[in-house]
Amino acid sequence: LRYEDNFDSNSNVSVMITPTTKKTITEYGSPEEFLSQVDYLLGKQAYSGKTDSEGGFETDAVATANVLESSAPVIGGKQYYSITVLTRTADGDEGGKHQLITATVADGKLYICKAQAG
């Protein structure tokens, strides 16, 4: 399920429900380890040419993602992961996009809600 702002395509909310063999979210590891397993949510760098370091990016990189905050709250007896990420691209897209990701596991399903504003 995805909702996208009609006036700003950078702002959207997605809800994904996928089958999993995990019993709890902690079986994915820490919140950061979990994020590395679902990093497709942040998008992938499509450019593969040579670049010089530009705007704070590493050589040959035109995109970056930084974890600003992560937590593992227990709400109503259920463990959740909450991760805040800032993604930026070398095209200087308005200072980047904030990604708020919340996830949990229940009844054999991984539930992920991702809100993006940029």
72 or 4, greater pLDDT? 72
What is the extent of the structural domain holding 22? 2-117
Quote the CA–CA distance of 26 and 19 in Å, as a whole number: 16
CATH of the domain at 84: 3.40.1000.10
Q: List the one residue out of 95, 90, 86, 85 whose CA is nearest residue 53.
A: 90
Q: How many CB atoms lie within 10 A of CB 115?
A: 15
Token pair, residue 75, equals: 């709400």
pLDDT the model gives residue 43: 74
- CB–CB of 33/26 below 8 Å? no
pLDDT tens by residue, 27-57: 999 999 999 999 888 876 666 667 665 566 6
- The residue-averaged pLDDT of 66-95 equals 88
Residues paired with residue 111 on neighbouring β-strands, in sequence order: 17, 104
Task: Look up the pTM and report it.
Answer: 0.82
Tell me, what's the pLDDT at 47?
A: 62
Q: CA 68, CA 84: separation in Å to the nearest integer?
A: 5
What is the b/e burial string over 46-56, where b = at least 16 CB atoms within 10 angstroms of the residue's CB? eeeeeeeeeee
- Structural domain tally of the chain? 1
